[in-house]
Structure 1
């Protein structure tokens, strides 16, 4: 009775490991392996050799059902039977052999001792040629060519090395190459989270019970100098001075205090001492007399510098005393000399230039904290001035003012991991009841509101709450699965809305079984 056979249909994307597994698992001695057109796995002689070896090791007779000339050639080389279809008679393809140049009619067959080494063969050929030459008596030299055994040996070694490399590549490609990336998007909800924390620069570990977080106070101290041109002015000239005789023609006595303005038109002079005048004294014609207790002379000085206050004798009025008049002699000595002096505005301008140079201090502190793996609390930024030196002083005659001062900038920073522990603690029960976890804490867009001492900080952030997904569990679920199967498995998990599995290189169709070759990324939808 004929031995039963097992028919196996090969998928277009199956690799050699799957095919060998099917051969080993077959319980029949004869296996008809139906190949699709140009099956990629059978285009490689290495794979065909692996299949032949597996068949021999498991006492299986394989018949390849194919009309592909490449596969038929490979089958002949490893002595596998081939048939055009399942009903046709199997046959063993001819084994490819190299073409041999036929011997000429006048050439004698060379007998070669099989035990001679390669050099011995060369000697035998040379001796035979010499014998033929003598017998021919001047005939043409023999047409037998001595093979170049050195070249042949080089080609043989090169071919062997190429074959070994090809086998190594095949083994690597089949058993070792391959990686997979798993991208998962989950269905998440957003929630505004508010926590109040305390910052402590001396603390080493976060205390979730007291909501105290270790903090770093990063400082940047810079001493710099700013300069500004003098814009203030000062008149170094002299004030005109002279004497004015005051006369009181009123019914009551009057006391003119020092500092009273005595004016003539636009020119005002200031009295230098207090003067007491009796009540008015008149003659029989009703005219106020020019002498008496109601008349007195007082020294005056011009209100401002300038030649315009120099004048001849003239009359004056007295501010606040309408019944008192004045008659002055010449006013002399007034002059004007305007020079540049330092004003407070000039000092402020020089300080502003120093401050302008330090505008990058905030960005520098952010970079330093970020580089140290701290989350910068930008709202805690402070900048203080100290050691201010102004030269020359305000009011001094100079062309420019120089201000040197030290600016100390500071900013607080905390570890994101510590903040996460605070948020987790505050929403621990809520997450437990929902069977979820926080997938995104939103600290990058969080709002921090510190007090004036940067000790207590109110934190408001938007957290994303989604399903609990364990990366190691995901790897174990997809390991060894085809990409499509792995995606279907992941999509069935609660909260997963999208799953994409990519396998590399292109000839691999399954996710590797080793965890280290699987990369998992989880994002919110």
Structure 2
């Protein structure tokens, strides 16, 4: 049977239940359009539970991170500026040098002659020995005197054992002497003088004396008597007559030698400590004078002192001037202003004349220097540091090219990320190694 559509009856069915979905609220059409896409609240919820819909908390975190980054960058900049420093280790040019020269030096330093200076140090050392032996002793007092000639410009010769009188006592000279003649300076007479040892005419303590004036006994009654005179150098001592404690002479000499070695060591150390840094000192240029006195071996008391007195004379040279003189004789292209000699003190130094500086202060001396040394180029550290101020590290080699006296150089800049030298001289350190 043919069915007509009108005859079809549709079964009424209940529409399926639909759970209402959380729909996006409609945007109020009354709000004016700004050209910006509307933002779904889900966008905020995906970034964290409880995020505020208006984004204020997210913006605060962003600002905090931004401030932290800026502070960190500022800290790095501050560290870079405040703690920046540069250290440059420089190796100057060095050459071998063979020295074998005889040099003349002058106290007056005239006509280009090398000048020298003399330094004198005095010291003494005493050791007490215990004497147990007693004997009868007769000992003559002795000492040193200066004899003066104010009589004439001509020298005056005196024989050995020339008698000198002072305070009613007679002493005799220990050696023949020639007293230099007097001179005239600024219209005044300057007496000539000479030093000589004297000994009392007879033994006894009464001849012991402090400093005294003496006359020449043989000139009494002549015009020379008041124009020739003597003055003691310190005390006149050692006179004795009677029972005395004595020690063995060999023992006394041994102690005396020990004391001299102690004095040598101590005085040399003192001399080296007192010499200015711009002067040079050679061990061969040190001269000791212990006098001619023998150690005392008798005394009234059992405690017998052995005393050694010494005078050290040291020849000193200005380091730069001596270097210039050596280079002048060995390599005329170099000067002491541009080079120095390393280990200059280690060269062998020998006095040629005078033979003994302890006899007086010479006006001129001749010495020899020999040995091997090295010439080292001087580096103007202040100028180099000034040339490096504020330049970039890669420009360092260009600056170094202006210093032909530098063989090698190594630079370190801190902090490590800085690529420029400090702009403060106090933060640039130059170390010269040789």
Q: Calculate the TM-score normalised by the size of structure 2.
A: 0.45
The structure with the greater share of residues assigned to strand is 2
When Rg is computed on C-alpha atoms for both structures, the one with the higher figure is 1
Q: Calculate the TM-score normalised by the size of structure 1.
A: 0.38
The structure with the greater share of residues assigned to helix is 1
